[in-house]
Amino acid sequence: MKENPSRISLILIIVIVFPTLFFSGYELNTLSSNEAVVDSIYASQLKNLTVSVNQYSVDVLTRWADEFDDLSLIDKSGEEDSIFKLLSYHQAVRGVFYNDKRQVSRSFIDSAYQEIYSIDIQTLNHQLLKEDSVINKLEQYINNGYRKIQKLEINDEFASYYLYAIKTKDRQVKTAGLIIDKKAFVTEVLAPKLQSMAQSHFIISVLAGSEVIFSNHQDFTQAGNVRLAESLWLLDNYQIGVQILNDPVEQMIKKRTRSNIIMIIIMDVILLLGAFFIYRSLRQQLKLAQLKSEFISNVSHELKTPLALISMYSETLQMNRIPTEEKKMEYFGVINKEAQRLMRMVTKILNFSKMESGMRTFTFVETDLNDIVHRVIGTYKYHFKNAGFEYSVDYDYELPFISADEEAVADAISNLIDNGIKYSKETKKIEIKTGIRNDKVFVAVKDYGIGIKEKAQKHVFDKFYRVTDGNLALHAKGSGIGLNIVKTVITAHHGNVKLDSKFGEGSTFTLLFPEA
């Protein structure tokens, strides 16, 4: 089955990316469920706390109701004094009232409190009328020997009102009520209780909206910062909130959550980067495999042409059908030329394969680059003439010596000249120049051929790479290893190759060597 990059990306997505994202999502979900566990611990702690605080409030109010009820049994003369005495004794109780036929018949209200907060008896009467069934129930309870405290629904920011049933001296059943200062109730009655409940394990705060009425935490700005809050049903608009102090479980979970999130992110990044690198490397391998198979077909093609010519000419010679000696010589010449071409091809491929396997060794000697160029040109003179090429060589005779493997450098220059010839069209001209530039000794091979597009320029030194657009580039014979050999040779000489090319105008390849 043919693999292609989109198939690879699909496999990588299925095998790596999906599982990574799925696992991360699952882990993050588990982490948030840990948070939920902590929340539920809070919720149950708070529930217990609220229930017991409410129960305690009811107990206190019932006790106070009992105390005031006892007073209603004493003589009228002493009653008023005793009531006020009791009022001043219980700071949170700011008033008491007695009802007759669903109306306030008598009321005793702390005068200082009345001055500031003006308790409105009218509203109280109005509400009492509405509470008929509640009052009946309270009276029924007291007849059965049980006292219940009932909160009245009166909208008052500072006070709460409670009803309870009493039995008068003449054994009549009536109702009475307590007026409680909510803030004072919290600070004087609930505070010690909350303090003992909280100990050093919790922050417990009583809040009225955003105002902190009480907290066992010294820092009130922290006090409002409770994790969960529940209503105190005996005190309108008051809430009780709780925060576990230095909870080791919560801190452990928080720490674990943080480190788990960091680990998940690091793991995701590593896996996704891994997937990306695998994808890139596979894509390169595929590209290389494709180039290799093209290379094999190109090389076979290149080998076939000289072999066919050699075979044809030698056959003709063997049949002895050539009339003149001169013609015979011409045929021998062709056979020789083609055999040389084959030789060059095979040498090139062997050199490349040696370099690939790291087996090619270089023998460096101090040498004059001009000499090498001169020798290479010598082998091309005949070829240039045959192919109709004009050529020029411009030697710089001041060149310092370079340390080079002469054969390898000659190979590299030959490859450049071969390409110059192969990729030229109308203007058949090759210019070779030696010189020194920025302390580097160079030889440049310039042609006026088809040139190389900018985007292909950075690839031409890659192995097996060939430009495939443009008629000549496509049809010129080649294997895509020539420039790779050049690059490898020059790199082994600690030098570099420079390419200047303009598409349609020609190319200059410059080999630069360090001085010996």
Q: Which of 72, 205, 216, 419 binds ligand ADP (CB under 6 A)?
A: 419
Q: Can you tell me which residue has the tokens 């609220």?
A: 50
Who contacts 148 (Cβ-Cβ below 8 Å, separation ≥6)?
137, 138, 141, 164, 165
Residues in 491-510 at the binding interface with ligand ADP, rule: CB under 6 A: 507
When asked if residue 482 is in the footprint of ligand ADP (CB under 6 A), the reply is yes
How open is the CA angle 57-59-63, to the nearest 5 degrees? 115
The backbone torsions φ and ψ at residue 109, rounded to the nearest 5 degrees and listed phi first, read -125, 135
Q: What is the DSSP letter of 342?
A: H
> Of 147 and 429, which CB lies nearer to ligand ADP in the complex structure?
429
What is the separation, in whole angstroms, between the first and last Cα of the chain?
54
Put the strands of the sheet holding 211-215 in their side by side order: 211-215, 202-208, 238-244, 228-231
Q: Which is nearer to ligand ADP, 441 or 444 (CB)?
A: 444
Q: Which stretch binds ligand ADP (CB under 6 A): 162-170, 239-247, 335-343, 479-487?
A: 479-487
Give buried/exposed letters for 448-458 (b at 16+ CB in 10 A, else e).
Answer: bbbbbeeebbe
Give 398 or 469: the residue with its C-beta nearer to ligand ADP. 469
Q: Which is nearer to ligand ADP, 403 or 508 (CB)?
A: 508
Residue pair 396/368 in contact (Cβ under 8 Å)? The answer is: no
- Residue listed under structure tokens 């080999």: 511
Among 46, 449, 510, 512, binds ligand ADP (CB under 6 A): 449
Question: In which region does residue 350 sit, left (phi positive, over 0), alpha (psi from -120 to 50) or beta (all else)?
Answer: alpha
Q: How far is the CB of 361 from ligand ADP (least distance, A)?
A: 22
Among 108, 423, 448, 513, binds ligand ADP (CB under 6 A): 423
Distance between CA atoms of residues 345 and 337, nearest Å: 12
Q: Indicate whether 467 belongs to the interface with ligand ADP (CB under 6 A).
A: yes
Stretch that binds ligand ADP, among 147-155, 171-179, 266-274, 474-482 (CB under 6 A): 474-482
Nearest Cα to Cα of residue 164 among 153, 151, 183: 151
166/460 with CB nearer ligand ADP = 460
d(CA 177, CA 68): 10
Binding to ligand ADP in span 17-56, by CB under 6 A? none
319-358 footprint of ligand ADP as x/- string (CB under 6 A): ----------------------------------------
One of 480, 488, 497, 512 touching ligand ADP (CB under 6 A): 480
Taking CB under 6 A as the criterion, the residue among 483, 489, 497, 511 binding ligand ADP is 483
Taking CA atoms, 21 is separated from 7, 9, 16, 25, 90, in Å, by 20, 16, 9, 6, 64
Kindly tell me which of 160 and 479 has the beta carbon lying closer to ligand ADP.
479
For ligand ADP, which stretch binds (CB under 6 A), given 116-124, 160-168, 196-204, 471-479? 471-479
Which stretch in 56-64, 84-92, 105-113, 447-455 sits in contact with ligand ADP by CB under 6 A?
A: 447-455
Of the candidate spans 168-176, 313-321, 365-373, 448-456, the one that interacts with ligand ADP by CB under 6 A turns out to be: 448-456
The Cα 476–Cα 140 span in angstroms is: 116
Q: Which of 203, 430, 481, 497 binds ligand ADP (CB under 6 A)?
A: 481
Determine which helix (DSSP H) or strand (DSSP E) holds 86, and give its type and residue range. Answer: helix 76-89
Q: To 5 degrees, how large is the angle CA 340–CA 346–CA 351? A: 125
Cβ proximity to ligand ADP: between 40 and 284 the closer is 284
Nearer CB in complex with ligand ADP: 7/301: 301
**153 near 136, Cβ under 8 Å?**
no
Query: Does the protein bind ligand ADP through residue 450 (CB under 6 A)?
Result: yes
Binding site for ligand ADP (CB under 6 A): 419-420, 423, 447, 449-452, 460, 465-467, 473, 478-484, 507
